[in-house]
A and B are shown apart, each in its own frame.
Chain A
Amino acid sequence: MAKYLLCFTVNGEYHELYIKPKRLLVEVLRDDLGLTGTKRACNTGACAACTVLLNGASVKSCSVLALQADGAEILTVEGLADGARLSPLQRSFLDHGAYQCGFCTPGMLVSAQALLDENPKPTREEIREGIQGNICRCTGYNSIIRAVEAVAKGKYKEKG
């Protein structure tokens, strides 16, 4: 199978790679770039553990061909923090115990970030709807909802 050139920016870093056209975005992120924070848990787009931002929109990277991201800007969980300084959502997730096993957490954080980017002041119901696609088997979601709500209410404005 011939390989094609993929040029894209991931977490602010520009990459050029030759890849087979059938490869998925999640595979390239994890296997080629070593960004293993993004997880896979169903391969059918049903659990959203693989959520990343593609030009600011949340997508399930197991359902996107890597070449579809050509020229795009991608944000993964590894891009949320600035060095040791965690993002408001990350800090809030810690304080609210909004993760347990942690496997869905990267996708959950990215989905929540997409929600807040689009709607900085969501209601509780809007938060529930915003993360509806993400399965978390550990927390029962409510701690996650409290965490997102706290950020929306501006509790994490100051730099961490």
Chain B
Amino acid sequence: MKKYTVINTPVHNIDGIAKVTGQAGYTFDIKLPHMLYGKILRSPYAHAKILKINTRKAKRLIGVKAVVTGKDTLGIKQGIWRRYKELCDEEILARSKVRYIGEPVAAVAAVDEDTAEEAQDLIEVEYESLPAVFDPLEAIKEGAPQIHEHAEQNINVTRHIEWGDVEEGFKKADYIREDRFRVSSQAHVCMETHNAVASYTPEGKLTVWTSTQSHYYIKVLLADILGLKENDIRVISRYTGGGFGSKFELDSAQFCSALLSMKLCRPVKIVLMRDEEFMATKRRTPMFYYLRTGVKKDGKFLAKEARVYTEGGAYTAMGATALYLTGFFQAFPYVWQSYRYDGYRVYTNTEPSSAMRGFGAPQATFTAETQIDLIASDLGIDPIEIRRKNAMYPGYEVPGQARIQSCGLSQCLDKIEEWVKSRGKLPLHRGIGVAAYGFMSGGIFNWFDTPYAFSSALVQVNIDGKVDLYVGSQDMGQGSNTTLSMICAEELGVRLEDIRLHMGDTDTCPVDLGAWGSRETLMQGNAVKMAAADAKRQILEFSAAKLGPNIVYDLDIKDRWVHLMARPERGLSYYDAVKETIRGKDGQPIVGRGHYTPHRKGMISPAYSFGVQAVEADVDPETGKITLKNCVTAHDCGQVINPLGVEGQLEGAMAMAAGYGFTEDLPMDEGKILNPNLVDYKVLRATEMPETKVVEVETYEPEGPFGAKEAGEGLTNPTAGALSNAIYHATGISIKNLPITAEKVHDAIRDRERKKKAKKTDRVQRTKQK
């Protein structure tokens, strides 16, 4: 019998037909009877006191039903790091002070969007502008404007990671290199902007439809800030038009629509405009990175010291996690004898920076991998060789942090080396750069302070053999609905089409923490597998009586056939077994429960993906223009569940990461984002995407369902570094300031030419003088 009948076979997503026919209903598409439309008024100041808000004129406009300001709230400061009070620092509707351009100060509900917009202009806000600070390195200086009362020198969070004897390591090193990097921000650019439809009824119940990565988090955060019981709130999110890390904190659309609806007892819909999305839905954390690295002359890594200042923006958000993870992944995926990381997250008067796909790791990987190539080049070692020499391996323990179980890194290096060699001699001005990376499969640390299991699932097998699977996870496009259904079908021994998945509704689904940190396949997957196994056990107990094997565990189900494992031809139909089981249970359907919370798996994650990526790029020496030619990735995500899904995740992450590397940026002037639209903010277009190739290196992860681990985010990590290395190999120029734009490359080339020329003239003149 085939080992697996469902998993590892490419299938299209179970919600695919709804998506290609336009039938998939997003929150953006919801229209309820009697529904009002809301708009949010935002601060034009980066730092200011709110002296007075006059809403009288706005309220008098025909069609306006309500206007709310901070005074209409409970004044609760909220945050997603709920375990730590001081990190809950955001009111969402500011009461007395605004700290970034775009911070909400009032919201209005009206009969249509036009009226709401008109009313917005009639709200009069009197501000007293305060001195502001935008650069984290300025904000930590004494005498800088203080943004929060509790945070002296604007230090928000600090993180320290250390192992081994770093000083000793540097003493033993044959070669030490120091580099400074500036890593830029990035916008998530979900195609469906943040939105919500909130409906409060006189019974005291609130229902919120919203585009989110975690309906559970939104329910709890809304309960916190609105003073409601968690279970008086229902959050529904069937389809989510992209998330990428931006949609699991409470946002202004959710909060303001709920507040307005509670006042009016009518449904209120708020959809953010694209410029609001850029200005006020958080973004990737920009960082200043200092790296000092000591190695042996054969390339063996001895010691690394990393110091990082991150531009936190006005509030904590998920920034504390990004700060820790960038420190952890700076040492990844290598064996460092000693390592010391000091990270400082600094408040600034800019849009808060937070979670974004890769979560601190892309910043770490860009800086680390760029420096490794510079070291290799200085020592005359092959870039792949130096990585191989220091690569993590199965069973390696990151001191005090993590234990690596499965790890296919060296196989990935072999595959990429093969590909690089196959390219032969490259044309002029072309280079190939490689970067190695890894990522977590869900986070361990319970900063949200949930008393629930991290993931739960429920399986119900019905009389006709069809299976209802209830999960709390959120599919935002990454395909978790399909992955989880496949895991359920495989474990239960049925086909994918037998599974009917229920998700996206806090009233009917068990709790899962949501789709972030690449956690769904492993964590929700484990819970689903356990629930399916529980249901299967019940079917097998009844089947055993019929088939009479020695012990119950000798039985299994595969492809709707209940059989003796040792003699697969002896068995009975799954349908008959289910019917008999239900009859035997006095007519009760078969229900299986599963849950998963990581235990004793270190500080970070239960499992890690690994990979190596090669980027081949052309650089035009005249203009500095970069053209991506090829991108090949060898990837270890454990057992692949849906090959089509993994390929899509890898290609998509690579496109986003390439944008981070050379086209996407959020330039600001005094805290104001200068390009808050899709014309000036350059996401990659189809014509800029290179040919991509994915080589799967399969390993078995003992902690994952069927041996699977993450495949969603890790690929956002290597591309900027691989690209920077490709440019270095093509031109000899290393740009340490993301994004690597044509302008920067052009300027660096010109600068080098000028220096060369000056040297030459200098030499000529000196010869003449002689």
17 further A-B contacts with Cβ under 8 Å, apart from A36-B22, A100-B479, A101-B239, are A39-B241, A41-B191, A41-B193, A49-B191, A97-B644, A97-B648, A100-B648, A101-B243, A101-B476, A102-B15, A103-B242, A127-B686, A136-B191, A139-B651, A139-B655, A140-B684, A142-B689
The answer to whether the Cβ of A95 comes within 8 Å of any Cβ in the partner chain is: yes
For residues 120 through 148 of chain A, which have their beta carbon under 8 Å from a beta carbon of chain B? Answer: 127-129, 131-145
The answer to whether the Cβ of A66 comes within 8 Å of any Cβ in the partner chain is: no
Give the complex CA separation of A95 and B691 in angstroms: 19
Chain A proximity mask over B1-24: 1 for CB below 8 Å, otherwise 0: 000000000101101111111111
The answer to whether the Cβ of B190 comes within 8 Å of any Cβ in the partner chain is: yes
Which of A37, A101, A129, A145 is packed against the most chain B CB atoms within 10 Å?
A: A101
User: Are A138 and B21 in touch, CB under 8 angstroms?
Assistant: no
Please give me the residue from chain B that is nearest to A36 by CB atom.
B29
A sample of 12 inter-chain contacts (CB < 8 A) reads A36-B22, A40-B28, A78-B22, A99-B20, A101-B477, A106-B22, A135-B678, A138-B191, A138-B652, A141-B684, A141-B686, A144-B686
The answer to whether the Cβ of B645 comes within 8 Å of any Cβ in the partner chain is: yes
A44 with B677: in contact, given A104-B191, A142-B692 (CB under 8 Å)?
Answer: yes
A86 with B17: in contact, given A100-B652, A143-B647 (CB under 8 Å)?
Answer: yes
List residues of chain A with CB within 8 A of the CB of B652: 100, 137-140
A46 with B677: in contact, given A99-B19, A100-B477, A140-B689 (CB under 8 Å)?
Answer: yes
List residues of chain B with CB within 8 A of the CB of A49: 191
User: Are A42 and B274 in touch, CB under 8 angstroms?
Assistant: yes
Name the interface size band of chain A: 35 or more
Give the complex CA separation of A93 and B159 in angstroms: 45
The answer to whether the Cβ of B26 comes within 8 Å of any Cβ in the partner chain is: yes
Which of A36, A46, A100 is packed against the most chain B CB atoms within 10 Å?
A: A100
User: Are A76 and B476 in touch, CB under 8 angstroms?
Assistant: no
A43 with B274: in contact, given A101-B191, A142-B692 (CB under 8 Å)?
Answer: yes
User: Are A94 and B12 in touch, CB under 8 angstroms?
Assistant: yes
User: Are B25 and A36 in touch, CB under 8 angstroms?
Assistant: yes
Neighbour of A145 across the interface among B13, B25, B242, B686, CB < 8 A:
B686
Give the complex CA separation of A134 and B687 in angstroms: 11
Please give me the residue from chain B that is nearest to A107 by CB atom.
B191
Give the complex CA separation of A106 and B647 in angstroms: 21
Neighbour of B20 across the interface among A90, A133, A135, A139, CB < 8 A:
A90
Give the complex CA separation of A141 and B12 in angstroms: 16
Which of A81, A97, A145 is packed against the most chain B CB atoms within 10 Å?
A: A97
Nearest Cβ distance between residue B247 and chain A, in whole angstroms? 11
The answer to whether the Cβ of A67 comes within 8 Å of any Cβ in the partner chain is: no
User: Are B647 and A43 in touch, CB under 8 angstroms?
Assistant: no
User: Are B242 and A138 in touch, CB under 8 angstroms?
Assistant: yes
The answer to whether the Cβ of B350 comes within 8 Å of any Cβ in the partner chain is: no
User: Are B20 and A93 in touch, CB under 8 angstroms?
Assistant: yes
Chain B proximity mask over A34-64: 1 for CB below 8 Å, otherwise 0: 0111111111101101000000000000000
Give the complex CA separation of A111 and B691 in angstroms: 21
List residues of chain A with CB within 8 A of the CB of B479: 100
Nearest Cβ distance between residue A98 and chain B, in whole angstroms? 8
The answer to whether the Cβ of A25 comes within 8 Å of any Cβ in the partner chain is: no
List residues of chain A with CB within 8 A of the CB of B691: 142
Nearest Cβ distance between residue B44 and chain A, in whole angstroms? 21
Please give me the residue from chain A that is nearest to B659 by CB atom.
A137
Nearest Cβ distance between residue B195 and chain A, in whole angstroms? 11
Instruction: Report the 7 A-B pairs with minimum CB-CB distance, sorted nearest first.
Output: A37-B22, A101-B477, A102-B19, A103-B241, A140-B655, A100-B477, A77-B22
The answer to whether the Cβ of A72 comes within 8 Å of any Cβ in the partner chain is: no
Give the complex CA separation of A143 and B652 in angstroms: 9
User: Are B21 and A44 in touch, CB under 8 angstroms?
Assistant: no
User: Are B21 and A80 in touch, CB under 8 angstroms?
Assistant: yes
The answer to whether the Cβ of A109 comes within 8 Å of any Cβ in the partner chain is: yes
Give the complex CA separation of A81 and B23 in angstroms: 11
List residues of chain A with CB within 8 A of the CB of B243: 101
List residues of chain B with CB within 8 A of the CB of A76: 22
User: Are B189 and A137 in touch, CB under 8 angstroms?
Assistant: yes
List residues of chain A with CB within 8 A of the CB of B655: 139-141
Give the complex CA separation of A59 and B479 in angstroms: 30
Chain A proximity mask over B676-694: 1 for CB below 8 Å, otherwise 0: 0111000111110101100
The answer to whether the Cβ of B654 comes within 8 Å of any Cβ in the partner chain is: yes
Please give me the residue from chain A that is nearest to B646 by CB atom.
A97
Please give me the residue from chain A that is nearest to B650 by CB atom.
A140
Please give me the residue from chain A that is nearest to B648 by CB atom.
A97
List residues of chain A with CB within 8 A of the CB of B274: 41-44
User: Are A143 and B648 in touch, CB under 8 angstroms?
Assistant: yes
List residues of chain A with CB within 8 A of the CB of B478: 100
The answer to whether the Cβ of B244 comes within 8 Å of any Cβ in the partner chain is: yes
Give the complex CA separation of A99 and B21 in angstroms: 12
The answer to whether the Cβ of B192 comes within 8 Å of any Cβ in the partner chain is: yes
The answer to whether the Cβ of B428 comes within 8 Å of any Cβ in the partner chain is: no
Please give me the residue from chain B that is nearest to A20 by CB atom.
B114
List residues of chain B with CB within 8 A of the CB of A144: 686
Please give me the residue from chain B that is nearest to A90 by CB atom.
B20
User: Are B12 and A97 in touch, CB under 8 angstroms?
Assistant: yes
Nearest Cβ distance between residue B564 and chain A, in whole angstroms? 37
The answer to whether the Cβ of B361 comes within 8 Å of any Cβ in the partner chain is: no
Give the complex CA separation of A144 and B651 in angstroms: 11
List residues of chain B with CB within 8 A of the CB of A127: 686
Nearest Cβ distance between residue B663 and chain A, in whole angstroms? 13
A105 with B645: in contact, given A41-B192, A144-B686 (CB under 8 Å)?
Answer: no
Neighbour of A140 across the interface among B21, B29, B654, B677, CB < 8 A:
B654
List residues of chain A with CB within 8 A of the CB of B687: 128-129, 132
Nearest Cβ distance between residue A110 and chain B, in whole angstroms? 10
Give the complex CA separation of A135 and B656 in angstroms: 12
Give the complex CA separation of A6 and B17 in angstroms: 32
List residues of chain A with CB within 8 A of the CB of B17: 86, 94
Please give me the residue from chain A that is nearest to B691 by CB atom.
A142
Which of B20, B188, B273 is packed against the most chain A CB atoms within 10 Å?
A: B20
User: Are B21 and A77 in touch, CB under 8 angstroms?
Assistant: yes
List residues of chain B with CB within 8 A of the CB of A95: 12
Nearest Cβ distance between residue B607 and chain A, in whole angstroms? 23
User: Are A140 and B651 in touch, CB under 8 angstroms?
Assistant: yes
User: Are A97 and B191 in touch, CB under 8 angstroms?
Assistant: no
Nearest Cβ distance between residue A42 and chain B, in whole angstroms? 5
User: Are B23 and A37 in touch, CB under 8 angstroms?
Assistant: yes
The answer to whether the Cβ of B240 comes within 8 Å of any Cβ in the partner chain is: yes
Chain A proximity mask over B148-189: 1 for CB below 8 Å, otherwise 0: 000000000000000000000000000000000000000011
List residues of chain A with CB within 8 A of the CB of B23: 37, 78
A137 with B20: in contact, given A95-B12, A101-B477 (CB under 8 Å)?
Answer: no
For residues 438 through 486 of chain B, which have their beta carbon under 8 Å from a beta carbon of chain A? Answer: 476-479
Give the complex CA separation of A100 and B647 in angstroms: 11
Please give me the residue from chain B that is nearest to A80 by CB atom.
B21
List residues of chain A with CB within 8 A of the CB of B24: 102
User: Are A137 and B686 in touch, CB under 8 angstroms?
Assistant: no
User: Are A46 and B679 in touch, CB under 8 angstroms?
Assistant: yes
Nearest Cβ distance between residue B33 and chain A, in whole angstroms? 14
List residues of chain A with CB within 8 A of the CB of B692: 140, 142
List residues of chain B with CB within 8 A of the CB of A96: 644
List residues of chain A with CB within 8 A of the CB of B20: 77, 86, 90, 93-94, 99, 102, 105, 109
A143 with B651: in contact, given A102-B477, A128-B689, A135-B685 (CB under 8 Å)?
Answer: yes
Give the complex CA separation of A99 and B22 in angstroms: 12
List residues of chain B with CB within 8 A of the CB of A31: 31
List residues of chain B with CB within 8 A of the CB of A78: 21-23
User: Are B191 and A103 in touch, CB under 8 angstroms?
Assistant: yes
A105 with B19: in contact, given A134-B686, A139-B648 (CB under 8 Å)?
Answer: yes
Give the complex CA separation of A137 and B274 in angstroms: 14
Give the complex CA separation of A44 and B684 in angstroms: 18
A42 with B678: in contact, given A97-B12, A128-B686, A135-B191 (CB under 8 Å)?
Answer: yes
